[in-house]
């Protein structure tokens, strides 16, 4: 059964707000971003700022936002790495092996590590740091019984020197060689939305339904379809990644659509 979604924006209990493309685009602030954050705080809403990055820590994202004039605390941010960390901490006494960059390792503090007999192998972006030996090490651990978790599964991305192979290609190699399926935790995986919602429920001490939560984002596929699949309200903003033809061709219908977060916050106040 699908829970009934709210009919009015002011009935939304918890807010998940995408960062890149929604509150800022690279180094440029989107109009209304500051007002929206102020509204969330003044109205004592429960919220998380969400980023799908797998290369930056929450602290680094917070510092980037501060440079643009946005006051966003690391503990208010939710990323694929922080979602995985939350998940692993919820399992009692598991041992993990991480193939992530030094900075991202920070997010997994307090989780027990094992290079020889882990329960979970977590693969993130190693970029140029990835090599045959590392890939093979992850492969051997998975063959030895470890579960494979991936922070993301992008095939490629665009870098300073053009297109570049991304972590997904290595995750795929591991899946192919081991015959095991990786658990992908980044957006748009349903688990990512569920973990973010859980985080807010714990903070609020409330048993709100998924349908009481909204996701505000610029990406029709990852944000709006992802939110809908997880039973959340989808609020699309036409900034960042948004383009008209995509949403038309894919038949994804957001619950609300605004030009920018400025129009969203104006309709809330």
Residue 51 CB, shortest distance to Mg ion, in Å, is: 8
Pattern 10-39, binding to Mg ion, x per CB under 5 A? --------x-xx------------------
Other C-beta atoms within 10 Å of 76: how many?
18
Residue 217 CB, shortest distance to Mg ion, in Å, is: 5
CB-nearer residue toward Mg ion: 20 or 255: 20
45, burial (CB in 10 Å: exposed 0-12, middle 13-18, buried 19+) = middle
Distance CA 24, CA 101 (A): 25
Residue 23 CB, shortest distance to Mg ion, in Å, is: 9
- By CB under 5 A, is residue 199 in contact with Mg ion? no
- By CB under 5 A, is residue 231 in contact with Mg ion? no
Residue 22 CB, shortest distance to Mg ion, in Å, is: 5
233, 85, 102, 177: CA torsion to nearest 10: -90
CB 78 within 8 A of CB 110: no
Q: What is the CA radius of gyration of the chain?
A: 19
CB-nearer residue toward Mg ion: 49 or 97: 49
Q: Which stretch binds Mg ion (CB under 5 A): 157-165, 183-191, 199-207, 210-218?
A: 210-218
Residue 237 CB, shortest distance to Mg ion, in Å, is: 9
CB-nearer residue toward Mg ion: 18 or 199: 18
Mention every residue, 6+ apart, whose C-beta is less than 8 A from residue 120.
Answer: 88, 94, 95, 96, 97, 146, 147, 148, 149
Distance CA 257, CA 165 (A): 34
CB-nearer residue toward Mg ion: 107 or 219: 219
Residues that bind Mg ion (CB under 5 A): 18, 20-21, 218-219
């Amino acid at each position: 059964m699908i829970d009934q979604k709210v009919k009015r924006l002011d009935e939304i209990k918890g807010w998940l707000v995408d960062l890149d493309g929604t509150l800022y685009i690279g180094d440029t602030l989107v109009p209304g971003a500051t007002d929206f954050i102020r509204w969330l705080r003044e109205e004592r809403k429960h919220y998380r700022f969400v980023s799908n990055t797998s290369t930056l820590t929450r602290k680094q994202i917070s510092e980037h936002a501060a440079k643009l004039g946005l006051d966003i605390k690391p503990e208010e941010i939710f990323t694929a790495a922080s979602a995985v960390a939350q998940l692993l901490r919820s399992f009692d006494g598991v041992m993990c092996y991480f193939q992530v960059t030094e900075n991202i390792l920070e997010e997994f503090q307090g989780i027990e590590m094992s290079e020889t007999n882990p329960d979970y192998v977590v693969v993130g972006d190693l970029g140029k740091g990835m090599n045959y030996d590392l890939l093979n090490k992850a492969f051997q651990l998975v063959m030895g019984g470890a579960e494979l978790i991936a922070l993301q599964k992008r095939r490629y991305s665009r870098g300073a020197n053009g297109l570049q192979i991304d972590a997904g290609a290595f995750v795929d190699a591991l899946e192919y060689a081991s015959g095991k399926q990786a658990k992908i935790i980044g957006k748009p995986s349903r688990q990512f939305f569920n973990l973010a919602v859980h985080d807010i429920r714990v903070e609020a001490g409330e048993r709100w339904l998924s349908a009481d939560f909204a996701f505000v984002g610029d990406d029709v596929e990852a944000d709006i379809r992802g939110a809908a699949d997880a039973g959340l309200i989808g609020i699309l903003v036409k900034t960042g990644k948004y383009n008209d033809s995509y949403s038309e061709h894919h038949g994804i219908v957001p619950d609300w659509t605004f030009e920018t977060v400025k129009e969203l916050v104006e309709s809330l106040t």
